[in-house]
Structure 1
Amino acid sequence: MNTILAFCICVAIALPVSIHGLQCYSCDSCPVPFNTNNATIVLTNTTGASCTKYVFASYVSKGYTTNCAQVNVNGIGTWCCSTDLCNTGQSIGSFDSKRTLATFLVAIGIMKMIRS
């Protein structure tokens, strides 16, 4: 019984972030360095959305998209991430530690259920 409860909790944690919406910073010609205190925040309820940061020379833009293709050529390109307000820094990645941990815990729960 405890294994089933643990499994259900792990599945609930692993659900996509987009259930509650994803918050991203949004700006065109964003200031460098970026100041989060005066930043515009957008909320998207689109399934599969990612926060983005586009960099071309001194031009920086932030927002969100549903089809993010991450590209980086010498610091020029597009970065994608999938956690709230993750598009702040110089270089952002798409690694989601919470989802990775939850997936790992689900796998452990499944293995324990199989052994029982």
Structure 2
Amino acid sequence: MKWLSFCLVSLFFFTSIVLGVSIDGTSTVKYISDHYVFRDSDYAKGFVYLSQGFTVINGGQVLFDGVVPISGTLDLRETGIFTLERDVYFEHGVTFSSSGIINSSGSTLHLGGDFTIPASKVIHCRG
């Protein structure tokens, strides 16, 4: 029985890492210490802290409704869409490693200091 429980917990843990899941920080704080990968239609909501940034897969869209500033490297994989559901704050030193789209939906993107976009990359802003 212990072996079965271990296998099920391991399967759930590794599936979550590989497949990616939305992050709901509306009832508890979610601290993500590793670079996070969002799949299409994933979201981050509430008290979610992405300490090492995130990636949105090619052609995917993440809905961001977080209240904690974002830090680290953001990778939109050229065609990923980062949609703001509320005002979003970037901490000092945020870097975009690839091109992509920011869809503001009327929200504001607040830059907290140095902000880097490599010379060969383009971030399209709309909304």
When the two structures are superposed, what TM-score results if normalisation uses the length of structure 1?
0.23
**More strand by proportion, 1 or 2?**
2
Q: Which has the higher contact order (CA 8 A, sep 6+)?
A: 1
* Structure label with greater radius of gyration: 1
